[in-house]
Structure formats: C-alpha cells, structure tokens
Amino acid sequence: MASCAVRGGCPSDYVAVSIAIFSMISLIVRTTFPFLIHKVPSAKRSAFWIPVIQIIASFNFLLSIAMAINFLKYKKSHWWLSCYVWAVWFEGPLGFGLLISCRIAQAFQLYYVFVKRRLPPIRSHMFLPLILLPWVAGAAFIHEKKPLNYRCHLGTHWIIPVVSLHTLYVAVLMGFTGAIRHIEFRFDELRDLWQGILVSASLIGVWVSAYILNEIHDDILWLQVVSRFMLLFTASILVLVFFSISISQPLLSQISLRKREPIELKTMGQALGIPDSGLLLHREEAVDVDPNEPLDKLLLNKRFRQSFMAFADSCLAGESVHFFDEVHELGKIPIDDPVRRIYMARHIINKYIIAGAAMEVNISHRIRQEILTTTDLTHPDLFTNALNELIQLVKMNLAKDYWSSMYFIEFKEEARMRCCGQEMEEMTGYDFSPRLSSVHASDDPFHQDHFPRGFTQDNHASYSH
C-alpha cells in the first residue's frame, strides 16, 4: 500500500484510469456519431473547430491528471514524461485552460451578438489564442521557477496563484454568461453554458480539496490514493458532461443520440418557427402575373417566387432569389422579437454575405461592409440596400428570359389548372430555358442555331404534334 501510494499502481488507480479512458471514448463517439450516422454535413468555421478543440483539450486534461499524479508505474527518465510537461503544460494551457477558453469564446460571441447586437469584432480563431496567453505565460513562469516536488505537487505558496487563475477564468465565464442570462435562446446555448460553469466550478472545488488534502496530509497514504482517485474520476465524468455540441445552428443541435424526432427542419426559417416558412399552402392565391409589374412586387407571391427561383437556379444565378426569400422570411419576424431576428440575420449573413459563403451574393464591397459592421443586427433595414442591388441585378439579367422560359409557361398552366380545378395536364416539351440550353433542342443540329423570340413557341409546337 505504501509503495503504491507513492509510486502509483494501486488498484483504485487502474479503475480510475479505465474510467477516464471510457469517458474519452464516449466523448469521441458522441461527437462523431451525428456526422457519421445521420450524415449531416460538417459545419464550417468555429462551429466545427471549437468542439474539436474541446475534445482535444479534454483528452489533454485527463491525460495530464493521469500522468502527473502517479497513477501508473513507469520510469520518469524521458523529458516527455517529466512532471512539468504534464502537470504544468498539459493541465494548464492545453487542458483546463483550453476547455474554459473555448467556452469563454462562445460566451463572448453570444454576448456580442445578442446583447450588443453586432457581429463580434474579433473572430474566434484569433480570440481563443489571445485569451490563452495568460495560461501560457503562467506555465512558462512555473517552468522557469521549477517549484514542483518529486511527487509533482506544488507547494502551498504556488497553489494559491494557480488556483486563482483557474477560478478567474471560471469567473469570467460566469460574467459573460450572466450578461446574457435574460436572452431567450432557441438552441440551448444558455443551458450549455451554465452546465459548463457548474461543471468547471465543481471540478475546481474537488481539485482544490484534493490538493489541500494532499499537501496537509502528505503522510496519510490512503488519503493520497483516495484523493487521486476522486480527482481523475470526477474529471472524467465532468469532462463528458461539460462538453456538448455548442453551436447555435439548428440542424446539428436538433440531432440527439436518441433520435427522438425525425429531422424535419430544413431551413432556418422553419427552425425559428416563422409562420409558413418553406411551405406552399393552398391558400396562396394564384395571382394573374403581369410581366409589366415591378419584379419585387411579383416576387412577394410565393408560388411565383418558387417558379422564378427554380428558373434562376437553372441559370446558376439562384442565390439572389434565395437571398430575397430568406430576407422576406426575416421580415415576417416581429420587431419586438430581437432574439429570433438576430438568429435569422446571422444565418443570412453567414450564408450569403460573408466572403466565400456557400451562396455568396453579388453585391458591392460597400454594401457588404455596411452589413458586416452594422451596430444593430435587429434593424429592419439591415439588408435593404443589398436587396435592392440584387433585385436590380436579377431584373437586368434574368427577368426577360424568364418570361419566355418553360418555367413561366408551366407556372401559368398550373395557375390555370388550379383555378379551373382540373387535373394538371402533363407538360410537353423539355424544361428549357433560352438562357442555357439544357438540351440541344433544335431539330436540325447542323444548321445555325438562333434563339429568336418565338423559339419556345416553335419548340413547343414541334414537340406537341
């Protein structure tokens, strides 16, 4: 007993280590499961990296506790097995510090977006290293001074600053979370944060008591073994509880391991509960569409918008119409519901405005900057200038071709059929747009091909005999 308490290798130690391994495995499974089984596309940017960093940090933390506090019997001859590497570097900057910093980065983003209603001034990938600096500085300082004894314990004098650094970070996290406690988040962000705080606070509590016990009762061997076991055990459980996929994208957060409901929500509009989002209801009247009316008025009609969107997609110019659609959805959220407006605005910005976005729209630099540096994400006219520019663009590029395309003809047919209550006749002719020939539609491919005005009519006639 005496030897195992000092040099490691007690049965309780092996139990603790296996619990730690088990918890790491469950953590990894829990993170990758949604991606592998439900085949959700991995999110980009900080939404993806922050959970990954959290897993790595959790692993480092558990490993550091296992290695530093004499759990296993091994020779400590190599430099990489030294105390400083594990108890100082892996526990601090790469373990606990990193874990808390990820949460602080998340809270900081949420604070900026929902309380200040602006996009955060510093991106996460720069903010995270920045707030990790005190940890790195502290670790370097301790490494210089080398106060650890042969059993990897800090003296009482050193414990105080180290524990205060840990507590400070938890306090900062509490501060940011407290500032956003009154916001009604949609996707459990606040719950995740409080969970994180609770967990990290208890962990520090356990840790402090274990260290104090270790220090004061250095000679009581069973206390050493027990406190060691408790440290690793609690760390394992709490690392698992601490972590969750903490992003505010509804698609991923809706996925749970239990798969309670089928995944129905396809758009942000639906996830936010915007009425009639993404649905084509019967009560949408079949308005008689007049090409002379301004395009932006016509686009307010959902059926027309869907038809025009399909046409624009076929010409590879669909993002502008999708943008119009989502800004229209944003307009349906009442002004006195800033939280939902912010979610939707952020979603639109990430999808359409940011350079390199999935469906980036063709707007000028000034208008893009206006949106990205806005001081009020809930402003009703946030996207008005961009929308105007894009409607101009669409008008000048697509409107004329749309009126002579099959999409419009089908739209008119549908409207006529619906209003006359008949079964829809099957449309003859291919889906053809004069802008991009999906089919080489001429009868005689060796002659010169023009696309004169009456072409679609001719085409239609020639195939409907």
Partner 1 sequence: MVEQLGFVALVKLVEVSEEHSNDFLNFDLRAFCVGRLSKNRQHTEADTEENAQTAEIERRIEQETKAEKHIQKLLLLGAGESGKSTIFKQIKLLFQTGFDEAELKSYVSVIDANIYQTIKILYDGSKEFAQNDVDSSKYVLSSENQVIGEKLSEIGSRLDYPRLDKELAEEIGNLWKDSAIQETYARGNELQVPDCTHYFMESLQRLSDANYVPTKEDVLYARVRTTGVVEIQFSPVGENKKSGEVYRLFDVGGQRNERRKWIHLFEGVTAVIFCAAINEYDQTLFEDEQKNRMMETKELFDWVLKQPCFEKTSFMLFLNKFDIFEKKVLNVPLNVCEWFKDYQPVSTGKQEIEHAYEFIKKKFEELYFQSTAPDRVDRVFKVYRTTALDQKVVKKTFKLVDETLRRRNLFEAGLL
Q: Quick one: 272 or 386, whose CB is closer to partner 1?
A: 386
Cβ proximity to partner 1, 130 vs 436, nearer residue = 436
Cβ neighbours of 293 (radius 10 Å) = 10
Terminal Cα distance for the chain, rounded: 97
> For the CA atoms of 306, 311, 312, 313, what is the dihedral angle to 10 degrees?
90
* Residue number with CB closer to partner 1 (188 or 389): 389
Instruction: Give whichever of 79 and 446 is closer to partner 1, judged by the CB atom.
Output: 446
Q: Which amino acid is at 320?
A: S
Tokens of 140: 């370097």
Nearer to partner 1, 223 or 427 (CB): 427
Decide whether 136 or 298 has the Cβ nearer to partner 1.
298
Residue 437 Cβ, how far from partner 1 at the closest point, in Å?
7
- Shortest Cβ distance from residue 424 to partner 1 (Å)? 12
Alpha helices in 243-285 (DSSP H): 250-253, 268-271
- Determine the 3-state secondary structure of 15 from DSSP: helix
Helix (H), strand (E) at residue 390: helix 384-394
Query: What is the rounded CA–CA span in Å between residue 383 and residue 419?
Result: 36
Helices (H), 155-243: 156-179, 189-216, 221-242
Nearer to partner 1, 74 or 463 (CB): 463
Distance of CA 120 to CAs 108, 115, 187, 268, 302, Å?
8, 11, 19, 21, 34
Minimum CB separation of residue 345 from partner 1 in Å reads 19
In the complex, minimum distance from the CB of residue 403 to partner 1, in angstroms, rounded to a whole number: 11
| Cβ distance to partner 1 smaller for residue 333 or 391 | 391
- Nearest distance from residue 372's CB to partner 1, in Å? 12
CB of residue 386 to partner 1, shortest distance in Å: 12
CB 314, min distance to partner 1, A: 6
Q: Smallest distance, Å, CB 452 to partner 1?
A: 7
Q: Which residue has the tokens 């994400």?
A: 377
C-alpha triplet 240, 201, 229: angle, nearest 5° = 60
Least separation, in Å, of the C-beta of 295 and partner 1? 9
CB of 83 within 8 A of CB of 261?
A: no
Which residue's CB is nearer to partner 1, number 221 or number 315? 315
Question: Would you say 233 and 19 are in contact if contact means Cβ atoms under 8 Å apart?
Answer: yes
Question: Interface residues with partner 1 (CB under 8 A)?
Answer: 294, 296, 312, 314-320, 355, 360-366, 368, 385, 388, 391-394, 396-398, 400, 426, 428-432, 435-440, 443, 445-446, 448-453, 462-465
Query: Of 192 and 401, which has the nearer Cβ to partner 1?
Result: 401
For the bound state, the minimum distance from the C-beta of residue 391 to partner 1, rounded and expressed in Å, comes to 6
Q: Which two structure tokens, joined as six digits, stand for 372? A: 């990205």
Nearer to partner 1, 234 or 459 (CB): 459
Report the 10 Å Cβ neighbour count for 311: 24
Query: CA 211, CA 229: separation in Å to the nearest integer?
Result: 12
Smallest separation (angstroms) from partner 1 to the CB of 277: 24
- Report which of 418, 457, 456, 416 is spatially closest to residue 437, judged by C-alpha positions: 456
Residue 61 near residue 91, CB atoms below 8 Å: yes
Please name the amino acid found at residue 104: I
Which runs of consecutive H residues, i.e. helices, occur in 243-383? 250-253, 268-271, 295-298, 302-314, 319-332, 338-348, 365-372
Contact partners, residue 315, CB within 8 Å, separation at least 6: 398, 401, 433, 435, 436
